[in-house]
Amino acid sequence: MKQDAFSPGGGAPFEVLAKESLANSQLRRNLGKATTTIRQKRAAAVGEMPDWEELREAGRALKERVMRHLDEYLLQLEESVTRAGGKVHWARDAREANRIVASIARGHAAREVVKVKSIATDETKLNEYLEREGIRAIETDLAELIIQLSGEESSHILVPAIHKNRSEIRELFLRELDAGDLSDEPTDLTNTARLYLRKKFLEAEVGISGANFAVAETGTVSVVESEGNGRMCTTLPRVLVTVMGIEKVIPAWQDFEVFMQLLPRSSTAERMNPYTSFWTGVSEGDGPQEFHLVLLDNGRTDVLADERGRQALNCIRCSACLNVCPVYERVGGHAYNSVYPGPIGAILTPQLVGIGKKGPDSLPYASSLCGACYEVCPVKINIPEVLIELRGKVVRHKQDAGEGWRSRLDPENAAMQLMARNFSDVRLYEASQKLAKAGQWPLARGGVIQRLPGRLSGWSAVRDLKPVPRQTFREWWKKERGS
Amino acid sequence: MRVALFITCFNDTLFPETGIATVRLLERLGVEVDFPREQTCCGQMHFNTGYQREAIPLVRRFVKIFSPYEAVVAPSGSCVGMVRELYPMAAELAGDNKLAEEVEALAPRVFELSEFLVKKLGVTDVGAYYPHRVTYHPTCHSLRMIKVGDAPLALLRAVRGLDLVELSQAEECCGFGGTFAVKNADTSAAMLADKVRHILDTRAEACAAGDNSCLMHIGGALRRQRTGVATVHLAEILASTEEEIRR
Ligand code: SF4
């Protein structure tokens, strides 16, 4: 099984995986093209809205209210769903969620289930679990299907196959779907997928979905999508199971007014997305006759405990932050090694799995703190601030956990301690400036430093460094002004 | 008007010419400049790398040293961003209400050089002369953290002799990001490669910015690749005058 952030070990760190991605020129080209296009479109779609900033503020305030009273809203949701004929299940972690879903599927003797994009079930690795139980889960979102057929992992929240281009997809379909004669025209490709999926929709007894929102007041669950496969998946099978993170609850039906203005423009740069499905429990003779809502915690209540960090739970998964992120643009989603990539992944993943795992602990550092994500986030999550908060937690955890880390042996820690001491006393600081001037000369050649030792070598791999000048500013000031 | 110059440890040690230029420029405009010698570092590198317990004493020092002044000016958007936007979080982490109050009182009086000139002094033409083709990179913290807006461009447009060329994708990060450039050296280099390409496309002689940290990173690549394109801090352009160049 693949080791990712949600695996017990936590997987490999970002900087190691990023190296691989950076060397993939096809990936760099695909990503560069895709993110540049969607950025411009988003900016235009948002630019049309005179009250965009007020909407963002409203979205943020609503989500904050939900997080403050999450327990109450969830109980209210359970009551509303039950009243409407659905059944609510509470899953503390991934294992519980998977077990619940599998037992429902088994109860209906399903060998195959259709699924529509649900990141929560990627988090719990539901497909792999079902497979071990002898149940095949068919992803029906086009991009998810592509990912599933190629045996890869999603690299984007909204465009999971953003790293693949159409000729790669054509080859995949020829190989996996017996597509016969096939060009790489998008219409041809989607038609092939459509024929394959229609059959699956009509055969399946059980459908599995995620949810974008669930209304506490009415018990209405909603999926926002582009292709209509979600609509099929949530209406054709006789049994519907929705797996949803507990943070997706919203107070009232009216709140859609805010979120449905924010989400489509931020994610696909559309004024309105093509398909938005709403369902409230079961309706006799129409759609699924059995509805289960699985409410997944899996670390979320732990995140709530951190008042700054919990902003990450406000995310509506629009992926605007991925699309503007200069780091994501170059390394793509796989380097994050998590179902949640990009800036939101960098703040959500380490909090969900807990600080103290090598892979996830590296994610808050996968950012230059440029702030582009915060600027576009439709619910105003201050991602840079949370990144900094989490870096603090990572360092404090390492220092306090000991593991020889506190000792002078860790070069980063040792350097930081030394510098902190020098900065705390102006005499030490001035002495260290003199030392820096003297100490660098073995490194300098012909007026520049071209190679730095140890951990700093990454700097000098592509950049020259100007040596420390002979006179500091404060020496100049003292000479000029005498005080 | 009397201001305290917060030089930043980075400029003090590595780019004294920027500090000297800032002093000359401010004094030319009739501002009285004081340099509190006790100052060292604002704590940004520690704080942003996660060494927050270590940064808190530096926050306290800064607040103590600079609180007596009516205004504090620094030739760095990034360090000003630390003080204005992150000191409140540091005070909160320290669990120190008094520090939080002091920060709240001081932070609005701390200015980045270009915003001090344009927004506080109300000047855009500082009487500078700089006969070169220059492009401008708006550093992320100036742009998105402390929101200096068009102030640097307004100042550059008023410089005589200066041929200002627009940088494409200017608002995208250069890839520096403090310890990011070391911890994620490969990703940083990939971002830098694109920034350098856009700079070369302008055919400018020099790339200007309001942060020497980003400029050291960009300039390091420009030099390594022997592009012949220089980097220059905004303060140095604004400080230079015809008389000085003739001299
Ligand atoms: S963090 Fe904000 S911008 Fe990023 S996906 Fe979530 S809602 Fe969208």
Per-residue pLDDT tens digits for A63-84: 999 999 999 999 999 999 999 9
Would you say the CB of residue A378 lies under 6 angstroms from ligand 1? yes
Q: Whose CA is closest to atom 8 on ligand 1?
A: A318
List the single residue in A with minimal CA-CA distance to B145. A371
Q: How confident is the model at residue A155 (pLDDT cuts 50, 70, 90)?
A: confident
Q: Which atom of ligand 1 is nearest to the CA of A319?
A: 5
- CB distance B55–A388 less than 8 Å? no
- Please give the pLDDT value at position A406: 54
Hey, which of A318, A373, A387 would you mutate to test ligand 1's pocket, going by the most ligand atoms within 8 Å of its Cβ?
A318
Has residue A290 got a pLDDT over 70? yes
Q: How confident is the model at residue A160 (pLDDT cuts 50, 70, 90)?
A: confident
Q: Which atom of ligand 1 is nearest to the CA of A267?
A: 8
- CB distance A459–B220 less than 8 Å? yes
List the single residue in B with minimal CA-CA distance to A19. B186
List the single residue in A with minimal CA-CA distance to B146. A371
Is A212 within the bounds of a domain?
yes
The CATH number of whichever domain residue A266 belongs to comes to 3.40.50.10420
Would you say the CB of residue A321 lies under 6 angstroms from ligand 1? yes
**Of the residues A264, A279, A301, which one is the last residue of a structural domain?**
A301
Asked if A439 has any chain B CB less than 8 Å from its own CB, the reply is no
- Please give the pLDDT value at position A442: 66
The whole-chain average pLDDT of chain B stands at: 97
- Please give the pLDDT value at position A405: 56
Q: Which of A271-275, A401-405, A411-415 has the highest mean pLDDT?
A: A271-275
Please measure the distance between the N-terminal and C-terminal CA atoms of chain B and give it in whole angstroms.
29
- Cα(A317) to centroid of ligand 1, in Å? 5
Hey, which of A377, A382, A383, A387 would you mutate to test ligand 1's pocket, going by the most ligand atoms within 8 Å of its Cβ?
A377
Pairs across A and B, CB distance < 8 A: 197
Q: Whose CA is closest to atom 4 on ligand 1?
A: A321
Please tell me which residue, A52 or A406, carries the higher pLDDT value. Answer: A52
Beta bridge partners of B232: B208
- Cα(A468) to centroid of ligand 1, in Å? 42
Has residue A113 got a pLDDT over 90? yes
- CB distance B20–A423 less than 8 Å? no
Please tell me which residue, A442 or A397, carries the higher pLDDT value. Answer: A397
- CB distance A368–B176 less than 8 Å? yes
Q: Per the structure, how many domains does chain A have?
A: 2
Q: How confident is the model at residue A91 (pLDDT cuts 50, 70, 90)?
A: very high
Closest CA relative to residue A213, chosen from A264, A260, A283, A166:
A260
Which domain range does residue A237 map to? 8-301
- Cα(B77) to centroid of ligand 1, in Å? 26
**Of the residues A242, A275, A301, which one is the last residue of a structural domain?**
A301
User: Scanning the structure block, which residue is given the tokens 């020889």?
Assistant: A404
Closest CB to A463: pick one of B172, B177, B221. Answer: B221
Cα dihedral A24→A25→A30→A34 (10° resolution): 100
- Above pLDDT 90, what percent of chain A? 75
Please tell me which residue, A168 or A233, carries the higher pLDDT value. Answer: A233
Would you say the CB of residue A344 lies under 6 angstroms from ligand 1? yes
Closest CA relative to residue B141, chosen from B176, B193, B98:
B176
- Please give the pLDDT value at position A407: 55
Cα dihedral A450→A451→A452→A454 (10° resolution): 160
Is A405 within the bounds of a domain?
no
B99 and B93 Cβ atoms separated by less than 8 Å: no
Q: Is A94 exposed, middle or buried (0-12, 13-18, 19+ CB in 10 A)?
A: buried
- CB distance B224–A459 less than 8 Å? no
**Of the residues A239, A274, A301, which one is the last residue of a structural domain?**
A301
Instruction: Kindly state the average pLDDT of the residues B73-93.
Output: 98
Q: pLDDT (tens digit, 9 = 90+) per residue, A195-213?
A: 999 999 999 999 999 999 9
Distance from CA of B119 to the nearest CA of A (A): 23
B114 and B210 Cβ atoms separated by less than 8 Å: yes
- Please give the pLDDT value at position B247: 64
The residues, any chain, with a CB within 8 Å of residue A188's CB and separated by 6 or more, are A182
Q: pLDDT (tens digit, 9 = 90+) per residue, A315-330?
A: 999 999 999 999 999 9
Other C-beta atoms closer than 10 Å to the C-beta of A252 total: 13
Instruction: Kindly state the average pLDDT of the residues A473-479.
Output: 96
Cα dihedral A444→A448→A451→A452 (10° resolution): 70
Would you say the CB of residue A319 lies under 6 angstroms from ligand 1? yes
Beta bridge partners of A449: A444, A465
- CB distance B173–A18 less than 8 Å? no
Contacts of B57 in chain A (CB under 8 A): 420, 424
- Cα(B140) to centroid of ligand 1, in Å? 19
- Please give the pLDDT value at position A45: 97
Has residue A162 got a pLDDT over 90? no
- Cα(A58) to centroid of ligand 1, in Å? 15
The whole-chain average pLDDT of chain A stands at: 92
Q: pLDDT (tens digit, 9 = 90+) per residue, A115-146?
A: 997 899 999 999 999 999 999 999 999 888 98
Q: What CA–CA distance (Å, rounded) separates A136 from A130?
A: 7
- Cα(B176) to centroid of ligand 1, in Å? 24
Q: Which atom of ligand 1 is nearest to the CA of A343?
A: 4
Closest CB to A423: pick one of B11, B37, B40. Answer: B40
For chain B, the three-class secondary structure string (H helix, E strand, C coil) is CEEEECCCHHHHHHCHHHHHHHHHHHHHCCCEEECCCCCCCCCHHHHHHCCHHHHHHHHHHHHHHHCCCCCEEECCHHHHHHHHHHHHHHHHHHCCHHHHHHHHHHHHHEEEHHHHHHHHHCCCCCCCECCCEEEECCCHHHHHHCCCCCHHHHHHHCCECCEEECCCCCCCCCCCCCCHHHHCHHHHHHHHHHHHHHHHHCCCCEEEECCHHHHHHHHHHHHHCCCCCEEEEHHHHHHCCHHHHHC
Q: pLDDT (tens digit, 9 = 90+) per residue, B122-179?
A: 999 999 999 999 999 999 999 999 999 999 999 999 999 999 999 999 999 999 999 9
Is A332 within the bounds of a domain?
no
Structure tokens at A7: 């695996």
Is A321 within the bounds of a domain?
no
List the single residue in B with minimal CA-CA distance to A13. B184
Structure tokens at A280: 């409230």
Q: What CA–CA distance (Å, rounded) separates A87 from A281?
A: 8
3 state SS of A214:
strand
**Architecture of the domain spanning B133-246:** 3-Layer(aba) Sandwich (3.40)
Q: pLDDT (tens digit, 9 = 90+) per residue, A427-463?
A: 999 999 988 888 776 666 666 777 777 778 888 888 9
Question: Domain check: are A292 and A414 in the same one?
Answer: no
User: Scanning the structure block, which residue is given the tokens 């037992």?
Assistant: A103
Would you say the CB of residue A320 lies under 6 angstroms from ligand 1? yes
Q: pLDDT (tens digit, 9 = 90+) per residue, B19-61?
A: 999 999 999 999 999 999 999 999 999 999 999 999 999 999 9
Is A315 within the bounds of a domain?
no
- CB distance A459–B182 less than 8 Å? yes
Comparing A40-44, A183-187, A268-272, A447-451, the range with the smallest average pLDDT is A447-451
Instruction: Kindly state the average pLDDT of the residues B193-198.
Output: 98
Would you say the CB of residue A262 lies under 6 angstroms from ligand 1? no
Q: Domain locations in chain B?
A: 2-120, 133-246
Q: What CA–CA distance (Å, rounded) separates A292 from A237?
A: 13
Instruction: Kindly state the average pLDDT of the residues A20-33.
Output: 90
- CB distance A423–B224 less than 8 Å? no
Please measure the distance between the N-terminal and C-terminal CA atoms of chain A and give it in whole angstroms.
67
- CB distance A367–B177 less than 8 Å? yes
Q: Whose CA is closest to atom 6 on ligand 1?
A: A315
Q: What's the whole-model pTM score?
A: 0.95
Pairing of strands A206-209, A239-245: parallel
List the single residue in A with minimal CA-CA distance to B141. A370
* ipTM for the whole complex: 0.96
- Please give the pLDDT value at position A239: 98
Is A3 within the bounds of a domain?
no
- Cα(A124) to centroid of ligand 1, in Å? 21
Please tell me which residue, B245 or A209, carries the higher pLDDT value. Answer: A209
B155 and B124 Cβ atoms separated by less than 8 Å: yes
Q: What CA–CA distance (Å, rounded) separates A271 from A269?
A: 7
Q: Looking at residue A469, what DSSP letter applies?
A: P
Is A324 within the bounds of a domain?
no
Cα dihedral B133→A370→A377→A158 (10° resolution): 100
Please tell me which residue, B245 or B125, carries the higher pLDDT value. Answer: B125
Q: What CA–CA distance (Å, rounded) separates B185 from A461?
A: 9
Q: What CA–CA distance (Å, rounded) separates A224 from A220?
A: 13
Q: pLDDT (tens digit, 9 = 90+) per residue, A243-285?
A: 999 999 999 999 999 999 999 999 999 999 999 999 999 999 9
- Above pLDDT 70, what percent of chain A? 96
Asked if A24 has any chain B CB less than 8 Å from its own CB, the reply is no
Structure tokens at B32: 């009285």
Structure tokens at A311: 């902003």
Contacts of A481 in chain B (CB under 8 A): 35
Asked if A328 has any chain B CB less than 8 Å from its own CB, the reply is no
Contacts of B142 in chain A (CB under 8 A): none
Closest CB to A371: pick one of B14, B58, B140. Answer: B140
